[in-house]
A and B are shown apart, each in its own frame.
Chain A
């Protein structure tokens, strides 16, 4: 039937085969709609770039005065022209590293527990619990660190420094291990304590990213491992962990970004010093965010510009960390599948 039609109307068929020109006509309501959403896109773009440009512009003043000494100088006295981020960046990184070292093993354990070991019925409860913990305000963690952890963890810090003090960054100056009555104040307000608090704060964030990728591990491969006689841990080690590697690295970087930018909890705990202080158990450390919170009020115009420069340095650091995180997640097998 169809063939006869085609044979009879060869001319018509030829006409129909020619490519039509496709034009999309956008009518007026759609034009207005597209205009509105494009405007809001541009508005967001403007505000966001304005922040970057403005930060860079204001920071530029201070950077011009300080020059390269901004990277090498440890003191923070902008009004006498003697200021730099060497000490505070080192402090920030040390706190973040301590936090990550504590948070990552815990986060991996919780993520594995929730996705592999927990009873099915409790899984969603644990997931909401971890998500809720990620939303707990940082000041709550800060309070806990200041009033509970500070007084309870000094014993551990003293013990570590007494027995492992021969490792350079674990030693404490001014502490006398032979004197049991020596004051414990040299152990408070340290990088170590701030790191523990920040660790508890970022662990839920890291954990929820990891759990997400662990639960996506293909069940075919899991069952394949079991069919080859693997134990549960063998299956996790050979299927789940390699599959979730990208997510683990990405989640860790995401947590690192948050740890670097944490302000209030760190501010409450540390006692600021402006020298490079690599001994993590000893009192006194500093971080960029807490420096800004500490000094913004008394800062002169130039002092604010110097704080902006410190803020810019912090922002660039978190930006790099976040970009590495998102590219690692996007390249990994688990990230590519989740989109």
Chain B
């Protein structure tokens, strides 16, 4: 009876045991004490980064030793690999979050002044405090440039992606290859191209239009490539169903392919926008520099947020550097916003609908059914006499 009970009692299937926890904590404490001892008493080392590195190496070594006391062979390697992967991943995610948090924290002193959003730099010198001047000119410039660039890239990019998917042949293979190659174009070279053609050869002044053209050249291949992938994911049976009902090609594209891929296409465009909005180098070469508000992209120099950051931090004045961080934080928040919008709209499989879309679709379908029933009733009525 007793033996039966012992057979029936549940075994623990947890992969993480208490001893694992003890060896982790033990190794950590030992490593910390060892490197503290090394840094303060024995070796002439100093510096926080060095301390972290030495602690980490000591931790891995001590943990390996502890684990090898109770396990053997593959199990030791498994435990060490688990700890290394976890710690490196944690380190990198921490570093990335730190980069962003550092910018936002240092930018906070500038962002907390309301005039930062409502004034430009035309009446503000490098020595003026943060309560004067702002980046309104850069905000307006960024928004106008990206709007103009989107005006060019959305129709051209998406219709080109449709071309790649709808018309197969040698031409579309060539276009696909070239567009793919152009994603390798360094952004500075895109800027240099517009600078050499528009400004040096055609003799046009540096302006918002030139900058938005440079951004478009950079964004176009990115948007084409991403939209191409999304359009390829549209299920073929949806398109074939449409063709089987006798629909023409353009109606199939307009009413079936594009609506099905809508969320993916939106994501493609928004991610392209996030790339374009943060690019400094094409704007640096083509937009010129101005400290005052200029809302006309066709004349006079314009400035964008990343370019403003770049110019602010070249100054040695603390107030200017604070403004640079403020503008960078603003840019980050803009990208964050775009990204959040992309996550809300995108991230759905082609054809997946939100509740509201589903309801609208149901209503339409119901209306159609009613209409068809009515019209067939009318024809039967007309047919009877």
Contacts and interface: CB of A to CB of B under 8 A. Distances in A.
Contacts of A298: none
B369 interface: no
Interface in B70-110: 74-75, 77-78, 81-82, 84-86, 88-89, 91-93, 95-97, 99-100, 102-103, 106
Interface string A300-321: 0100100110011011001101
Contacts of A110: 88-89, 92-93
Interface stretch (A71-79, A136-144, A186-194, A242-250): A136-144
A26 B85 CA distance: 58
17 contacts: A38-B163, A41-B171, A47-B220, A48-B220, A51-B193, A55-B189, A106-B92, A107-B92, A114-B89, A116-B85, A135-B274, A159-B45, A260-B186, A263-B281, A293-B284, A293-B285, A319-B181
A204 B89 CA distance: 11
A264 to B, nearest CB: 4
Does more than half of chain B's interface fall in helix, strand or loop, or is it mixed? Answer: helix
Contact of A264 (B47, B281, B331): B281
A62 to B, nearest CB: 12
Contacts of B175: 41-42, 44-45
A37 B162 contact: yes
B193 A54 contact: yes
Interface in A153-205: 153, 155-156, 159, 200, 203-204
A152 B280 contact: no
Contacts of A117: 82, 85-86, 89
B261 to A, nearest CB: 15
A93 interface: no
Interface string A247-290: 00000000001001101100010000000000000000000010
A34 B278 CA distance: 35
Contact of B181 (A29, A143, A323): A323
B202 interface: no
Contacts of A51: 182, 185, 189-190, 193, 217
B64 to A, nearest CB: 13
For the complex, would chain A's binding face be called helix, strand, loop or mixed by DSSP majority? helix
Given A156-B50, A200-B96, A139 B77 contact: no
B248 to A, nearest CB: 5
A44 B181 CA distance: 12
Given A47-B220, A257-B184, A261-B188, A146 B93 contact: no
A109 B92 contact: yes
Given A49-B178, A144-B99, A148-B102, A27 B332 contact: no
B47 A48 contact: no
Contacts of A137: 277-280, 306, 328, 331-332, 335
A155 B310 CA distance: 27
Q: How large is the interface on A (under 10, 10 to 19, 20 to 34, 35 or more residues)?
A: 35 or more
Given A203-B96, A261-B185, A311-B186, 10 more contacts: A29-B248, A30-B248, A34-B249, A109-B85, A139-B278, A139-B309, A140-B99, A263-B280, A293-B285, A307-B192
A113 B86 contact: yes
Given A37-B163, A110-B92, A135-B271, A152 B49 contact: yes
Contacts of B335: 132, 135-137
